[in-house]
């Protein structure tokens, strides 16, 4: 899908990840995105969810609190022709994501061979992106850490968790262990394989 852009309304609350940082992120992920279910927890413009499909994910889930931003993500997906592979959920990530991840985990356990219109491959590994507004790492630390813990509990083995924080956030406070920390200018990318 190279060269096809996503819609961006210029809303500062939906800060899109810079192209160069996104390229770095996906280069680090490498082949782990292929065949995976990508979950973009704070989707904003949806560019991470969309690029995940472009890089070989079998399905993408974009969760966005803003109804207008979610509608824009759907429009971008439809214009690119990936509307069926991209599931856009509107709502607060801290309420929506736990249930969606429990559903995904249940689909894999209950019927690995089942055909589910929302999951191309329920046994697939996940790549879960935590790229909220930077202020949330300070203002909603406990909620983010709780969601990180839940993700690690529910995700299938081989899942990748990716965090984007600003350089001021102390990544040594992150729960779980063995984070691969990659400072990139004013931003830090952190990776963990479950």
Q: Is residue 68 part of a domain?
A: yes
Q: Is residue 5 part of a domain?
A: no
Selection from 5-9, 15-19, 73-77, 126-130 with the highest mean pLDDT = 126-130
Q: Is residue 94 part of a domain?
A: yes
Q: Which of 6, 78, 85 is nearest to 43 (CA)?
A: 6
The pLDDT assigned to 17 comes to 72
120-155: pLDDT as tens digits: 555 689 999 999 999 999 999 999 999 999 999 999
Q: Is residue 25 part of a domain?
A: no
The pLDDT assigned to 1 comes to 45
Boundaries of domain holding 121? 33-186
Residues 6+ apart with CB under 8 A from 139: none
pLDDT level of residue 177 (50, 70, 90 thresholds): confident
128, 22, 32, 73 alpha-carbon torsion, rounded to 10°: 50
Residue 7 has pLDDT above 60, yes or no: no
Q: Is residue 16 part of a domain?
A: no
Q: Is residue 1 part of a domain?
A: no
Q: Global pTM?
A: 0.87
Q: What is the mean pLDDT of the chain?
A: 88
Q: Is residue 39 part of a domain?
A: yes
What CATH number did the domain enclosing 159 receive? 3.40.50.150
């Amino acid at each position: 899908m190279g060269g096809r852009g996503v819609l961006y309304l210029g809303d500062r609350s939906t800060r899109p990840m810079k192209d160069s940082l996104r390229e770095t992120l996906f280069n680090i992920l490498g082949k782990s995105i292929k065949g995976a279910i990508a979950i973009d927890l704070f989707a904003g413009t949806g560019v991470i969810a969309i690029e995940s499909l472009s890089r070989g994910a079998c399905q993408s889930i974009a969760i966005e609190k803003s109804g207008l931003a979610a509608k824009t993500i759907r429009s971008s997906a439809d214009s690119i022709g990936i509307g069926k592979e991209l599931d856009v959920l509107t709502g607060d990530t801290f309420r929506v994501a736990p249930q969606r991840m429990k559903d995904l985990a249940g689909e894999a356990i209950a019927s690995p061979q089942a055909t589910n219109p929302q999951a191309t491959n329920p046994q697939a590994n996940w790549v879960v992106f935590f790229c909220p507004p930077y202020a949330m790492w300070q203002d909603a630390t406990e909620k983010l850490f709780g969601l990180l813990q839940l993700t690690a509990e529910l995700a299938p083995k081989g899942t990748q968790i990716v965090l984007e924080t600003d350089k001021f956030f102390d990544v040594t406070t992150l729960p779980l262990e063995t984070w691969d920390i990659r400072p990139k200018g004013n931003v830090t990318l952190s990776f963990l394989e479950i």
